[in-house]
Amino acid sequence: MESGGETRRVVVVGGGIAGSLLAKSLQFNAAVTLIDPKDYLEITWANLRNMVEPSFAERSVINHTDYLTNGRIVTSAATNITDTHVWTADGHRIAYDYLVIASGHRDVVPNTKTDRLNQYKAENQKIQSANSILIVGGGPTGVELAGEIATDFPDKKVTLVHKGPRLLEFIGTKASNKTLRWLKSRKVEVKLEQAVDLNSSTLDGSHVYKTSSGESIKADCHFLCAGKPLASAWLNDTILKTHLDGNGRLMVDEHLRVNGRANIFAIGDITDIPELKQGFLAQKHAMVVAKNLKLLMSGGVQESKLSKYEPGSAIALVSLGRKDAIAQFPFATISGCLPGLLKSRDLFVGKTRKNMGLQA
């Protein structure tokens, strides 16, 4: 976008769902630079399907170059921010007029698409060769992984251990109870209010894991499905250190600008917006900020013209295998194949690819 004959420089830190969609949306309106340690965007809610069906990952792991055809990609981690520049681990110093932080949660994954696809094949091999599998964590990741394995490998013994009093504690008890019944109907053994010592099996090589209540669980392998930390620690040494709340989230205003900063925005999981941290909401953040940046770059915009972001209501959709799902809406909770049609079949991968300008 030209303003006084000058193309504005937009730097986006983080190539997850929110950052990649924003970069893609602005690439013909500004000089866009995307900073990300990985060379790909990952549709993260397809991760668990990728483990039981590695070929699914071919569509859900997308090179940044596939959708960002008119922008610059810096494959490195951001390490510092000043009022005018972003610094990266490999020594780049990138000037910006507008900055968007979209670094989300910290996930230890390979930096190249090829290595990520190979990792899914290895995870699949781990599942294929195991007769018994332990899943630690009863949030959406643990529940969906248990559902995928129980559906695709019904002969395997799956045990899910969760430290809380019920599964999916972020949604209502009705949805939790329906999920528990579904898993039990697929012969998944669920143990609540227990923790697992993951070191206990490796010490003697017995594949027997001890729980906090003294139980022993025999399993050929385990998957840890616990929450991931926010990728915001690096901001503690930057100009944004005073803009983080007690949980390490960036505090934003109704326009998704970092409080008190006219030209710095934040989107996705790293924001302090009181809502569930979900992919479809991160995409909404990206579209609001794309609109606001286009307005700001056109010059002379009044505050009242900027788009406001309305926090999302409590909608949750947790897939259970290939056909079923649990859906919680503000006024109802439904389970079975109807919500399964919404999510479980292709996990919105086709829709997300279309949003990124790619073939579904």
Rounded Cα distance, 76 and 87, in Å: 10
Taking 80 as the threshold, does the pLDDT of residue 342 lie above it? no
Residue 330 is predicted with a pLDDT of 79
Dmax (CA) for the chain in angstroms is 71
Taking 60 as the threshold, does the pLDDT of residue 203 lie above it? no
Residue 352 is predicted with a pLDDT of 95
Taking 80 as the threshold, does the pLDDT of residue 206 lie above it? no
Q: What is the average per-residue pLDDT within 282-306?
A: 91
The pTM of this model reads 0.91
| Greater model confidence, 6 or 360 | 360
Q: What is the average per-residue pLDDT within 59-69?
A: 98
Which domains does the chain carry? 9-38+75-107+228-306 (3.50.50.60), 113-227+315-343 (3.50.50.60)
Q: What is the 3-state secondary structure (H, E, C) of the chain?
A: CEECCEECEEEEECCCHHHHHHHHHHCCCCEEEEEECCCEEECHHHHHHHHHCHHHHHHHEEEHHHHCCCCEEEECCEEEECCCEEEECCCCEEECCEEEECCCECCCCCCCHHHHHHHHHHHHHHHHCCCEEEEECCCHHHHHHHHHHHHHCCCCEEEEEECCCCCCCCCCHHHHHHHHHHHHHCCCEEEECCCEECCHHHHHCCCEEEECCCCEEECCEEEECCCCCECCHHHHHCCCHHHECCCCCECECCCCEECCCCCEEECHHHECCCCCCCHHHHHHHHHHHHHHHHHHHHCCCCHHHCCCCCCCCCCEEEEECCCEEEEEECCEEEEEHHHHHHCCCCCCHHHHHHHCCCCC
Residue 226: band (very low, low, confident or very high) from pLDDT cuts 50, 70, 90: confident
pLDDT in tens, 232-276: 999 999 999 999 999 999 999 999 999 999 999 999 999 999 988
Residue 4 is predicted with a pLDDT of 46
Residue 2: band (very low, low, confident or very high) from pLDDT cuts 50, 70, 90: very low
Q: What is the mean pLDDT of the chain?
A: 92
Residue 198: band (very low, low, confident or very high) from pLDDT cuts 50, 70, 90: confident
Residue 205 is predicted with a pLDDT of 63
Rounded Cα distance, 246 and 352, in Å: 32
Residue 344 is predicted with a pLDDT of 61
Taking 80 as the threshold, does the pLDDT of residue 200 lie above it? no
Residue 204 is predicted with a pLDDT of 57
Residue 257 is predicted with a pLDDT of 98
Rounded Cα distance, 177 and 166, in Å: 8
Taking 50 as the threshold, does the pLDDT of residue 1 lie above it? no
